[in-house]
């Protein structure tokens, strides 16, 4: 009887030790504190998504501890390099998106998305092309005519070089028959700077996420020439770029990846947790409030999407002369 008691105690002690949740320790690590990396400075889209996800995970799994931390720089590739050093860690997610795909190419990052575990695509947001209210360009056709006549004279303000706004400008140029290398793009680290240039009538046009400029379009301070969606956006007086004559459709998407080398148990646990987060009311409310499009994908579907986006973005960035 005494031997049985000792054996039971030994088994319990071993279970306690192995269940501590060290990274890479199979399914056990999935129950530990979750860290979400926002690979950008506080206040941007990735940071916002990460912090909303933090609250939604807590709502979906109240016992789970969640922490968001920031690793800014180089379009997310500094954070991506750090993620590569966390191989097998089943308690870590990194928020990422289309901007990172471009930054990997442009910065010649040694670490790529091939060295991550795709977990889920979360949201999409369409882009909008605007001009100041005083602009002589009443329609996209007016801007395209001026662009063809002298590409250098049409200045386009937007976010970081090689980012979503810049990619939209390159795709528009290509569709318009303008050499993408000749796009006069003025890059900014934040949407506020681009907005100030537009409101000050210092640039010809601007490109950003719909949420950034929609309020100013509705107030009449900016004029929308087109949106990058396949169909018109409800509540916004703007044609699609395709309607306006340019065969361009693109969404700025965001998602989660985890470190490489996860056990199947950890991969499943993270996917299940993010699915619960996605189904929670706080997440649904945030998606509606921010005008995001719910484009939830997990597993192989998201992995295939990532692969196709890398091929597409690599092509347009090369055509724009952003990579040699």
| 143 and 154 Cβ atoms separated by less than 8 Å | yes
Q: Do the domain assignments include residue 109?
A: yes
Assess whether 49 and 93 both reside in one domain.
yes
**Residues 115 and 147 occupy one common structural domain:** no
- Domain total for the chain? 2
Same domain, 155 and 90: no
Domain boundary among 159, 193, 227: 227
Pairing of strands 116-132, 293-298: antiparallel
Confidence of residue 188 (pLDDT cuts 50, 70, 90): confident
Is 242 part of any domain?
no
Termini Cα distance of the chain? 75
On whether both 92 and 107 belong to a single domain, the answer is: yes
Same domain, 94 and 143: no
Three-state SS at 92: strand
Q: Residue 190's pLDDT band (boundaries 50, 70, 90)?
A: low
- CA distance readout (Å), 83 to 15, 35, 176: 29, 11, 39
Comparing CA positions, the residue from 188, 187, 154 lying closest to residue 172 is 154
pLDDT of 10 > 60? The answer is no
The least confident of 53-62, 138-147, 173-182, 188-197 is 188-197
Could you tell me the CATH number of the domain that includes residue 154? 3.40.190.10
* 204-219 pLDDT tens trace: 999 998 888 988 999 9
In a domain, 302, yes or no: yes
Let me know whether 118 and 130 are in one domain. Answer: no
* Full domain range(s) for residue 148: 125-227
d(CA 153, CA 184): 8
Residue 155 lies in a domain: yes
* Whether residues 133 and 118 fall in one domain: no
For residue 282, is it within any domain? yes
Residue 276 within any structural domain of the chain: yes
- Is residue 50, in this structure, part of any structural domain at all? yes
- Residue range 50-90, pLDDT digits in tens: 999 999 999 999 999 999 999 998 889 999 999 999 999 99
Residues 6+ apart with CB under 8 A from 166: 102, 158, 159, 160, 185, 187, 320, 322
Residue 20 lies in a domain: no
- Are residue 114 and residue 200 in the same domain, yes or no? no
> Could you give the 3-state DSSP secondary structure of residue 208?
strand
Residue 283: name the closest of 122, 48, 53, 47 by CA: 53
How would DSSP label each residue in 273-310?
A: HHHHHHHSHHHHHHHHHTT-EEEEEEHHHHHHHHHHHH
Separation of alpha carbons 220 and 132, rounded Å: 9
CA gap 219, 232 in Å, rounded:
19
Based on the fold, state whether residues 194 and 131 are members of the same structural domain: yes
């Amino acid at each position: 009887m005494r031997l049985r008691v000792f054996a039971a105690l030994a088994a319990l002690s071993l279970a306690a030790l192995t269940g501590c949740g060290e990274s890479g320790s199979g399914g056990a690590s999935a129950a530990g504190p979750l860290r979400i990396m926002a690979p950008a400075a506080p206040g941007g889209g990735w940071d916002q998504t990460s912090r909303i996800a933090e609250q939604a995970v807590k709502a979906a799994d109240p016992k789970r501890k969640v922490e968001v931390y920031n690793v800014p720089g180089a379009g997310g590739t500094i954070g991506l390099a750090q993620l590569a050093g966390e191989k097998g860690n089943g308690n870590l997610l990194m928020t990422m998106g289309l901007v990172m795909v471009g930054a990997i190419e442009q910065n010649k990052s040694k670490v790529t998305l091939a060295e991550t575990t795709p977990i889920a695509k979360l949201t999409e947001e369409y882009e909008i092309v605007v001009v100041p209210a005083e602009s002589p360009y009443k329609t996209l056709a007016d801007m395209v005519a001026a662009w063809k006549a002298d590409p250098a004279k049409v200045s386009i303000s937007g976010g970081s070089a090689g980012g979503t706004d810049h990619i939209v400008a390159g795709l528009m140029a290509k569709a318009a028959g303008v050499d993408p290398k000749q796009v006069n793009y003025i890059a900014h680290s934040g949407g506020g700077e681009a907005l100030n240039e537009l409101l000050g009538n210092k640039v010809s046009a601007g490109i950003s996420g719909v949420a950034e400029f929609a309020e100013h379009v509705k107030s009449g301070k900016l004029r929308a020439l087109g949106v990058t969606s396949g169909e018109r956006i409800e509540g916004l007086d703007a044609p699609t770029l395709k309607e306006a004559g340019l065969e361009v459709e693109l969404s700025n998407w965001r998602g989660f990846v985890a470190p490489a080398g996860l056990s199947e148990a950890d991969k499943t646990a993270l996917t299940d947790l993010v699915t619960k987060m996605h189904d929670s009311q706080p997440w649904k409310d945030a998606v509606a409030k921010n005008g995001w499009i719910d484009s939830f994908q997990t597993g192989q579907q998201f992995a295939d999407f990532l692969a196709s986006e890398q091929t597409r973005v690599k092509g347009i960035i090369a055509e724009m002369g952003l990579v040699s």
